Structure formats: C-alpha cells, structure tokens
Amino acid sequence: MITAFVLIKTDASRIPETAEEISAIDGISEVYSVTGEWDLIAVARVAKHEDLADVIADRLSKVPAVVHTTTHIAFRAYSRHDLDAAFSLGFEQ
C-alpha cells in the first residue's frame, strides 16, 4: 500500500464543496480542512505508485476549485496506537 499526503490550495469560497468532491475520488481515504498555508490535506492510499498519477494528477488536480497541490509520499508509518498494541501482546489486564 502506497500512502501519499496531498496538500491542497483551493478557491477559499468553495473549501467544503471541494473537500466533498475530493473525498469521493477512489483512492482518497480522507480529506481534512486545516489551518495555515494550505486549505485541505488529502490522504491517498493506492496499491502501486503508478496509481498515484491517476488519483492525483488525473483526477484530484482537475477538481475545478483546486488551485495548487503538493504531494508527499510516505516511506513508513509510525503510530502510537501500533506501538501500544505491540507492547501489550500477551499481557492481560
């Protein structure tokens, strides 16, 4: 599974509608509205790198209110939840 984080600038008057459109794209698992320089952050999860081109370049970037995107591909995931689960194996409370 390939995970990518897409930082998105949109037309400010259409942030909620744009988020809904993006969240409907196959391969996008989550969309967050955020503070700061970017308006939205989308999480893409696909089977292979080639699928990112379809999801991000061919579909997400063509949503009408999307002005600019920057994509970050994840190498590894570190999660407190995963660590807690691993260290609690075999211990009954």
47: which DSSP letter?
S
- Which pLDDT value is given to residue 79? 75
Structure confidence at residue 77 as a pLDDT band (50, 70, 90): confident
What is the CB neighbour count within 10 angstroms for residue 62? 9
The values of phi and psi at residue 57, to 5°, are: -75, -40
Structure confidence at residue 86 as a pLDDT band (50, 70, 90): low
Task: Give the CATH number of domain 2-87.
Answer: 3.30.70.920
- The residues, any chain, with a CB within 8 Å of residue 47's CB and separated by 6 or more, are 1, 2
Q: If you average pLDDT over residues 48-70, what whole number do you get?
A: 96
Structure confidence at residue 84 as a pLDDT band (50, 70, 90): low
The pLDDT tens digits of the residues spanning 9-57 come to: 999 999 999 999 999 999 999 999 999 999 999 999 999 999 999 999 9
Q: Is the pLDDT of residue 90 over 60?
A: no
- Which pLDDT value is given to residue 78? 83
Provide the whole-model pTM.
Answer: 0.83
Domain ranges of the chain: 2-87
